[in-house]
Amino acid sequence: MANSTAHHPAFTFLRSEFIDALNVTVQEFEHTVTGAKHFHIASENDENVFLVGLKTVPTDSCGVAHILEHTVLCGSERFPVRDPFFMMIRRSLNTFMNAFTSSDWTAYPFASKNKKDFNNLLGVYLDAVFFSRLDELDFSQEGHRLEFAEPDNAESELTFKGVVFNEMKGAMSSTTSVLWQTLTKYLFPNNTYHFNSGGEPTDIPDLSYQDLLAFYRTHYHPSNAVFMTFGDIPAETLQAEFEDKVLSRFERLEEQVSVPNAKRYFSPVRVEEGYAAEEVKEDGSHVVVGWLLGESTDLNQQFEAQLLSSVLLDNSASPLMRVLENSDLGRAPSPMCGLEDSNKEMSFMCGLEGVKREDAPKVEALVLSTLESIAEKGVPQDMVEAMLHQLELSQREIGGGSYPYGLQLILAGLSTAVHAGDVIAQLDLDPVINAMREKIQDPAYIPNLINSLLLSNAHRVTLTLSPDDALEARRNQAEKDRLSKIKAALSDADKQQIIERSAALKTRQSQVDDMSILPKVGLEDVPARLPEYDNQKVAGALPVTFYPQGTNGLVYQQLVMDLPALDEEEIEYLPLFSSMMTELGIGEDDYLAVQERQAQVCGGLGASNSIRATIADRQELNGYFILSSKALVPNVKAMSELLKDTMLNVRFDEVSRVKELVAQRRARREQSITGQGHSLAMTAASSALSGLAAQQEKWSGMSGIRTAIALDDAMKADSKAAEKVLAIFKRLHSKLLQANKQLLLVAEPQHEAAVLSEAQSVFADLPVGGAKTAFVMAPVDAQVKVAWLTSTQVSFCSKAFRTAYGDHPDVAALTVLGGFLRNGFLHRVIREQGGAYGGGATFDGSIGSFRFYSYRDPRLTETLADFDASIEWMLNETHGEDALEEAILGVIGSMDKPSSPAGEAQSDFYVQLHGRSLAYREAFRAKVLAVTIEQLQRVTKTYLTKANENVAVVTATSKRAELESLGFDIQTL
């Protein structure tokens, strides 16, 4: 790849470096007039990524940076429409669009594989960030406002409304979020990290519109910005756009935004605070010990801290994690365990959850004595080398999943860029890894780090966060009292102003903007065909499928087994079996030895299940059990041996280990509710539609969380409970050993022969099974109306309708309908007018479920009514072809969203395994492109009826009476 220095005349070239491990060239430029930095990651990848980041440094918890992030995207100088961000989502083939507020920066990223689309989005984003209109009504909608419960009745109750206000009520319902915010409040006593950059719900109403404007003027300026790009568009081309659209209109700011270092403590601090809980459990406290470390922009300091954190906490064999997992003082290690290195100054944390409040000093003493012991005895050399190996693996891996690969690289360097560190060094870790290899040869290296960074570091905070069952009521009462006091002080003119502003906002939310001023792509820009992935199928006792993909020196391997016929009990425990199989011992080795072996040869092992309904029948299933791993090419044989050994010789006699894993799983599941409440509500609403849907609710829904809690309690109360589970595991394992098996391999084409040879030689004598047996679940076809009550300040609502499925002709229209309803109706009434953080509709064609949802929603029954109103809107209004095209583009964009090279190969393998051939998917794509408004109205009328309706909500305990009166089946954890 060329080490190009070509750049626009308005920019100064600073340096360029090719990074072999990533196969990219990183170029650094500076805008001569404003000082804005531009980092371009030149790659042959056609998925181009743009991000502009700004250092945003709040000095309180009013959420100014977060509310500004929302409001900036509500119209700009060149695009004076009310909601260009959400409008462009509909008019684009983007592979990613979003905006983030971190502790000390705000970022606006997008990605697209289509050059026309990329340029469209670039123009909108640049104008939004640097020339935002910041309308006061948008601030009222996105941030906060006062409104009467009956908007035109000044005698009704006064309320706080606002999208961010409700988003943060939802976010701060998470105990993990409260834990993080509280700990950082004490770790950073005097700078921006002391405050909640997202905004505390109690403080958000203190933010004024003038405060917002002042923050924008000082922070949203090119002198305070960094532009970061990735892909095959040259830096010079991008810079021409930056200069033309933005930079030519600015001069350099003399005053720089900065984050001062935290004032250091001279002795450790111990604090206690509370979190809202349904009940006060004796062992409900969290105890976390945190240290403030050095600056993250110092790569040597950062890497030493990362290595130390990995050595201490990476897996169950790591010496500090082992002590925490085995301690009787708590239920599980804290979710805070690890290094936080995205702030200017790093912090290291560890601790326990499920602790008795009075045992907090014992937890602190346990952590400190363990660190002293490790520092005294040292750490085995092979463990330290294994952690360096893991860091190299993570450096080389081309990721996939929720973020484009280019954006992952950009985000890896963003904090360093914002704080004027060395971005190239941050991305090119090979030199620092090599230097570290030399340093770790000294057996005293890790003990010295423990002493210098932790034991001798007086800036230490021990936080005890304890459950408080009255906190939520006190908080709600304080909000009511505040609103009552405000209302009592209102003059008639003030009341009238609130009424008029509510009416003006509603008018603004209902106005139809001229969308033609926004750029767009059309159906003519959609790629004609889906990509076809080359693969090599090798027949034999163990069939092998090899995909040649650009994996940057890694090999991905999966042992795939047909799920055999299982009884009801085995089906219930299948996900638990999968989550534990790679966490247990093998043969003569206990789980600690196995964890060490995994770290030395591969990027860890995972076990999972891939289960889908067949195209022909939603009650009929295809199921597969998968053991997977990844490794560098030289370790293929060792990885294969580890996979095979795990499959054949996994131990089911480590009772204490199983108890420990069950406790950890319970903790993770309980913490997940407020972050994925909309998914949990949709899963519950769909649970009556098929056997698989019902089982998914028992596995991963609210019922599954309740089961995880009950199992943990049972294992604590009854010594035989774990043995019963292990007996079920043995039955499952025995059946899997007899099942049909095949191997999936993904690697670079030049390694095909070697990788196939190594893997085949290892797996030659693996038992491969005989005739396929059907994996079945009892069919389900019923209706539900269920409410799950938990500790939350917001609601998550869903309705699910029984529909066509599989290859039925109506499936394409149902797929498009979700986006059509969201774009045309649901976004406006649920998010903008209702104040929820999100809302929409989506379709699952495998089980035939059309699902409405809302996320972090201040309302409940009103939202359920809005779902119904959207159906009436669909049936009774006249709809335009532009809206249809936007909905179709959204579906195609999600179908075409790229993953990592390995991820795309794996996805192709499994869709084909489940009977969805390339021809089938292309035929479906053609049906989606041909959907008409008449089809949308027909499927709405046919399927979205009361007879097909199922309802589920996840909400606060305070809603019990209201929900009972509406006939909901009330469930609690």
What is the Cα–Cα distance from 127 to 138, expressed in whole angstroms?
Answer: 17
- Residues in Cβ contact with 863 at an 8 Å cutoff, skipping those fewer than 6 apart: 795, 797, 830, 834, 836, 839, 854, 857
Q: How far is CA 688 from CA 51, 424, 569, in A?
A: 43, 53, 20
Helix extents (H) in 718-843: 720-737, 752-763, 811-821
- Residues in Cβ contact with 327 at an 8 Å cutoff, skipping those fewer than 6 apart: 352, 363, 366
Compute CA 762 distance to the chain's CA centroid, rounded to the nearest angstrom. Answer: 36
Q: Which residue has the tokens 């005890």?
A: 464
- Residues in Cβ contact with 926 at an 8 Å cutoff, skipping those fewer than 6 apart: none
Largest Cα span, the chain: 86
Q: Where are the beta strands (DSSP E) in 117-164?
A: 145-148, 158-161
Strands 345-355 and 338-340, by their bridges, are antiparallel
Helix extents (H) in 611-654: 636-649
Task: Clarify whether 397 is annotated catalytic.
Answer: no
What is the Cα–Cα distance from 682 to 242, expressed in whole angstroms?
Answer: 42
Find the length of the chain: 973
**Exposed e or buried b per residue across 668-702, where buried means at least 16 C-beta atoms within 10 angstroms of its C-beta:** ebbbbbbbebbbbbbbbbbbbbbbbbbbbbbbbbb
What is the Cα–Cα distance from 412 to 29, expressed in whole angstroms?
Answer: 18
Burial of 718 (0-12, 13-18, 19+ CB in 10 A): exposed
Specify whether the CB–CB gap between 67 and 139 falls below 8 A: yes
Amino acid at 80: P
- Residue 519 phi/psi, 5-degree rounding, is -70, 160
Neighbour count for residue 408 (Cβ, 10 Å) = 18
What are 190's two structure tokens? Answer: 């005097």
Half-sphere exposure of 98 (CA within 13 A, CB side): 9
Amino acid at 40: H
Residue 233: helix, strand or coil by DSSP?
coil
What is the Cα–Cα distance from 733 to 754, expressed in whole angstroms?
Answer: 31
What are 490's two structure tokens? Answer: 């209102």
Neighbour count for residue 13 (Cβ, 10 Å) = 16
What string of DSSP letters covers 451-487? IIIIIT---EEEEEEEEETTHHHHHHHHHHHHHHHHH
DSSP state letter for 23: T
Closest CA to 220 of 133, 135, 294, 139: 133
Residue 544: helix, strand or coil by DSSP?
strand
SS3 content of the chain, % helix, strand, coil (to 5): 50, 20, 30
Dihedral angle sign, alpha carbons of residues 361, 367, 369, 370 = positive
- Residue 539 phi/psi, 5-degree rounding, is -75, 165
Closest CA to 283 of 350, 359, 176: 359
What is the Cα–Cα distance from 902 to 609, expressed in whole angstroms?
Answer: 18
Q: Which of 17, 28, 47, 69 is catalytic?
A: 69
- Residues in Cβ contact with 361 at an 8 Å cutoff, skipping those fewer than 6 apart: none
Specify whether the CB–CB gap between 613 and 620 falls below 8 A: yes
Dihedral angle sign, alpha carbons of residues 292, 298, 301, 302 = positive
Residues with catalytic annotation?
Answer: 69
